[in-house]
Structure 1
């Protein structure tokens, strides 16, 4: 007991001595702070849309505990930047302490209304500084943000009895009806130009009997959970054109999310889909890039005419969380188009339909999660909840001078049921197929020239950089010079405008010689 009391008394003395000490004596900083960066680029944001949060680390490299007398924004309370310094939010701070050989974090955000600073500009560079200390010891870090003006399209919101009600669209009828947040475009909104980007909240719908025309060089951005719908008897006309600058893509029409920061450049599923609903008609998309959607193009049924309901020319769809192209009983003609990586098939042609693909590249190298589906899937049915099948004829699914490849051992799969027709043909295609014992081997009988002619199986397409979704082929591609010349004469130039008639390669691109900086496949 005496030993226990002695130990308890010793602990009490130690605690008492500690309470009497001043462990940390802070001296004023002397202009010797270190910073993780001297300029914070908050990248590009749209007017009145908040940026991502960026961070700055502030280092005390000295052997002394220091206190920074002031940390503040140069523009003061008028600044459109917001700070959080070591856990405290505000625009000005005093006596910010940093222990010896330690650091603190400063977090920065911004929201700017471009009209407050440049009433007629479509872009404006907004800047400020974070000032550390004052006088001779003052140090600073620059803040830079490019603000873009845009045309904002969104559902109407009304307040009824204190409750905000958002405009909605009703899709389908009866028990199958679905209500989503959205609105119909009016007559003044049916031409998207290239003067300003468009930012869409909710689903913007093209009314029946109307056409949405999108000019070359237009940029269309979708907020999370948003998209574009083309209603029964409505039409989408995307008039992109070849670009001379492959970095700027000045004539390409681009559909993507509304987060412009580099950290969002390759995040799939940022927005919903371009949805061509049952009965939409004569849709044409030329020289357009669709990226980071849930489903790039979703097509329900067709318009019942002999002409294609959807024509694709020079279209590129990348990084869709579900599929790049999902058609259900569609009628599609696709030429010189690229369908890149998706979480499920890059191209799903389901519940029958009528399809004609020439000089296309279907390539799935998805690496965001496990994928157990092929790049190309074709069937003629839909399995219902009661276990029965709803079937429709596959009138045709023709693929000519096309590449179907990816990171899985089998990248195309045919899945018919006998209750409906299932007509398909591959001619002069490079295919990846590794099933050694398929359930229905007749479907994959590459010696059957009625179904397969001039096929190349499991040979290297020599894509330039699959990690960056760059599916241009190189000098060593098995696709080089293997195209059918009759098919090539119908699509005489590749997706970049290069003549292919003399010696057509398979896929959307004629091959090129890679330089020494080529990435890894």
Structure 2
């Protein structure tokens, strides 16, 4: 028998006793501690960010992981009733919530002034169709706590495209200027306008086959609250769209659902801006297709404007020549020519079905108030429509 090492025995004996004492004390403390939860209506959470962005534009199949933290800022524990996506039918992101690999969890608890991690992973195939891998992938993750609902936006980029002004310009306004020169969007990749793009002192050329997708939504910044996703041409700016029959230029929303209409703001031409030409160009899914303000001038040749939630072509005391154009599936009037102006329409079709708007609205006045009870301004109207078709669901399609 090996001899007993007394010193080791004593150390081992007292070490074991110490462990037992600590364990007993811990059990006693735990049994005495009563965890309380904050249940005040509206008591919620805090987050390390409001938008979790995956800032990588994939040129091939790949994945990325990002995380954010959820904080309990209260002096009592808090119980999260539910965490889930607002649109769980579109599982673009995979989550790990506080160690649980799930996209939905209930009854999760956070100790006082503590936090938990939410990891999100996204896998992107930039060569997949846009219907499967959209240009801008967005999902809202919803947190329900004490009757209060809070959200964190998860955002990724599903296509290898040119994002303009940048991938982080939602709610922002950027200016494209080239010292009265010319900029051609001739990259074979599509262009995605994310935010509001102002064109000033520059001619922007869209060669044949150019595909432009505009991300709509609601902007809320120092300029107020307005519809985001606008192409705004200032007085010294100009657009020249050079589509062909085989390769038209297409400008539309970045969401491609067939019933998705009227989300991005449209093309706005400010007063005095002249020399715009659109040939074999399709403009769709906007609020207003093209809005031309006072003394602006543009030429439309074989242009289609459709699927707008508002007017297809709106003009206020402008000068427009349109040939072989089609305006249809608009939320109100197909074409509205207001406060006078000079207009020539040849071989155009204006179709207005399924709404209360006339195919064509034309007048020579402008009211400073909605009821025309105060100042009314009048301006000459010169309008010539030759071999045009105006059809719709109203008894009279001209107002």
TM (norm. structure 2) is 0.58
Q: Residue 349 in 1 paired to residue 337 in 2?
A: yes
Aligned match of 2:392: 406
Structure 1 residues 203 and 81, CA gap change in structure 2 (3 angstroms): closer
Q: Give 1:237 shift.
A: 0.2
The one-character-per-residue Cα deviations of 1:383-431 (angstroms, maximum 9, x if unpaired) are: 112622122111x111111100012222111xxxxxxxxxxxxxxxxxx
What is the alpha-carbon distance in structure 1 between the residues aligned to residue 384 and residue 363 of structure 2?
A: 13
Structure 2 unaligned residues grouped into runs of 5+: 1-55, 59-84, 105-119, 134-156, 217-227
Q: Residue 231 in 1 paired to residue 221 in 2?
A: no
What is the correspondence of 1:98-247 to structure 2 with a 5 Å cutoff?
A: 111-112=122-123, 123-124=127-128, 147-154=158-165, 181-187=172-178, 190-208=183-201, 210-224=202-216, 225-243=228-246
User: As a proportion of its length, which structure holds more strand?
Assistant: 2
> Which SS does the other structure have where 2:274 is aligned?
coil
What is the alpha-carbon distance in structure 2 between the residues aligned to residue 266 and residue 238 of structure 1?
A: 26
What is the correspondence of 1:109-508 to structure 2 with a 5 Å cutoff?
A: 111-112=122-123, 123-124=127-128, 147-154=158-165, 181-187=172-178, 190-208=183-201, 210-224=202-216, 225-243=228-246, 251-260=247-256, 264-303=257-296, 309-366=297-354, 371-385=355-369, 387-394=374-381, 396-413=382-399
Q: Give 1:111 shift.
A: 4.4
What is the alpha-carbon distance in structure 2 between the residues aligned to residue 229 and residue 335 of structure 1?
A: 24
Contact preservation (8 Å) 2:182, 2:203: no
What is the alpha-carbon distance in structure 2 between the residues aligned to residue 123 and residue 189 of structure 1?
A: 31
Q: Give 1:53 shift.
A: 4.6
What is the alpha-carbon distance in structure 1 between the residues aligned to residue 199 and residue 313 of structure 2?
A: 20
What is the alpha-carbon distance in structure 1 between the residues aligned to residue 100 and residue 393 of structure 2?
A: 47
What is the alpha-carbon distance in structure 1 between the residues aligned to residue 340 and residue 122 of structure 2?
A: 48
Contact preservation (8 Å) 2:167, 2:194: no
The one-character-per-residue Cα deviations of 1:169-206 (angstroms, maximum 9, x if unpaired) are: xxxxxxxxxxx841111449932125111111221111
Q: Give 1:302 shift.
A: 2.1
What is the alpha-carbon distance in structure 1 between the residues aligned to residue 186 and residue 86 of structure 2?
A: 28
What is the alpha-carbon distance in structure 2 between the residues aligned to residue 91 and residue 376 of structure 1?
A: 54
Structure 1 residues 272 and 92, CA gap change in structure 2 (3 angstroms): closer
Figure out how many residues of one structure are paired with residues of the other and give that number. Answer: 263
What is the alpha-carbon distance in structure 1 between the residues aligned to residue 122 and residue 352 of structure 2?
A: 37
Structure 1 unaligned residues grouped into runs of 5+: 1-45, 57-72, 74-79, 94-108, 115-121, 128-145, 158-165, 168-179, 244-250, 304-308, 414-521
Structure 1 residues 90 and 406, CA gap change in structure 2 (3 angstroms): farther
What is the alpha-carbon distance in structure 2 between the residues aligned to residue 317 and residue 92 of structure 1?
A: 40
Spell out structure 1 runs of 4+ moving beyond 6 A.
Answer: none
Bigger CA drift: 185-194 or 382-391? 185-194
Structure 1 residues 268 and 281, CA gap change in structure 2 (3 angstroms): same
Contact preservation (8 Å) 1:363, 1:375: yes
Task: Please provide the CA RMSD for this pair.
Answer: 3.7
